A and B are shown apart, each in its own frame.
Chain A
Amino acid sequence: MPDATGLELIAQELRDRDAGTVVNTTYFREKAALEVAPAAINDVLEHLKGKGFSFLASVHGLDYYPEEPRLGVHYELLDMREVDRITVKLRVATDAPNVPSVTPAWPTANHQEREIYDMFGVVFDGHPDLRRILMPEDYEGFPQRRDFPIGGEPVLFTHNEPHMPGWWEQDDIEPR
Chain B
Amino acid sequence: MEVTRSSAATAKQRLKGMTDADLERHVEERLWTTTLDKAANWARANGIMPATFGLACCAIEMMGMVAARVDVARFGFEALRASPRQADLLILSGRVAVKMAPVVRRVYDQMLEPKWAIAMGACASSQGVFNNYAVVPADKFMPVDMHIPGCPPRPEALVYGIIKLRAMIMARPDQGWRTRYGGRGTEEFVEDELDMAAARHAIGISGGGRMGTSA
- Taking Cβ atoms with an 8 Å cutoff, the residues of A that contact B are 134-136, 139, 143, 148-153, 155, 167-168, 170, 173
Contacts of B26 in A (CB 8 A): none
- Chain B residues whose C-beta falls within 8 Å of the C-beta of A153 in the assembled complex: 126-127, 131, 137
From DSSP, what is the main secondary structure of chain B's interface residues? loop
How many pairs, one residue from A and one from B, have CB atoms within 8 Å of each other in the complex?
41
The docked-state distance in angstroms from the alpha carbon of A170 to that of B205 is: 9
B132 sits at the interface (CB 8 A): yes
A173 to B205, CA, bound (A): 11
Q: Which residues of A sit under 8 angstroms from B200, Cβ to Cβ?
A: 170
Q: How far is the CA of A37 from the CA of B184 in the complex (A)?
A: 61
Is the pair A168, B133 in contact by a Cβ cutoff of 8 Å? no
0/1 per residue, B104-145, Cβ < 8 Å to A? 000000000000000000000011001111110101100000
- With beta carbons under 8 angstroms apart, the residue of B98, B131, B132, B204 that contacts A168 is B204
How many residues of B are counted as interface, with CB atoms below 8 angstroms from the partner's CB atoms? 20
Roughly how many angstroms separate A148 CA and B133 CA in the complex, as a whole number? 10
Q: Are A135 and B131 in contact (CB under 8 A)?
A: no
Query: In the complex, A131 Cα to B200 Cα: how many Å?
Result: 35
Instruction: Determine if B131 and A155 form an interchain contact, defined as CB atoms under 8 angstroms apart.
Output: yes
- Known contacts A135-B99, A152-B127, A167-B140: does B208 contact A143 (CB below 8 Å)? no
Cα distance A50–B18 in the bound complex, in angstroms: 93
Contact indicator per residue, chain B 14-35, by CB within 8 Å of chain A (1) or not (0)? 0000000000000000000000
Cross-chain contact of A170 among B126, B130, B204 (Cβ < 8 A):
B204
Q: Which residues of B contact A135 (CB under 8 A)?
A: 98-99, 134
Partner of A143, one of B133, B139, B207: B133
Given contacts A153-B131, A168-B209, A173-B207, 15 further A-B contacts (CB under 8 A): A134-B99, A136-B98, A139-B98, A143-B133, A150-B132, A150-B133, A151-B134, A152-B127, A152-B133, A153-B127, A153-B137, A168-B204, A168-B208, A170-B200, A173-B206
In the bound complex, what is the Cα–Cα distance between A153 and B205 (angstroms)?
19
Known: A170-B204, A170-B206. A149 touches B133 (CB 8 A): yes
Contacts A167-B140, A170-B206, A173-B208; A151 near B132 (Cβ below 8 A): yes
List the A side residues contacting B126 at CB < 8 Å: 153
Query: What residues on B are CB-neighbors of A168 within 8 Å?
Result: 139, 204-205, 208-209
Which residue of A143, A152, A167, A173 contacts B131 across the interface (Cβ within 8 Å)? A152
A152 and B132 contacting across the interface, CB-CB below 8 Å = yes
Answer whether A136 and B204 are a contact pair too, CB < 8 Å, given A149-B133, A153-B131, A153-B137: no
Complex: A139 Cα to B25 Cα, angstroms: 49
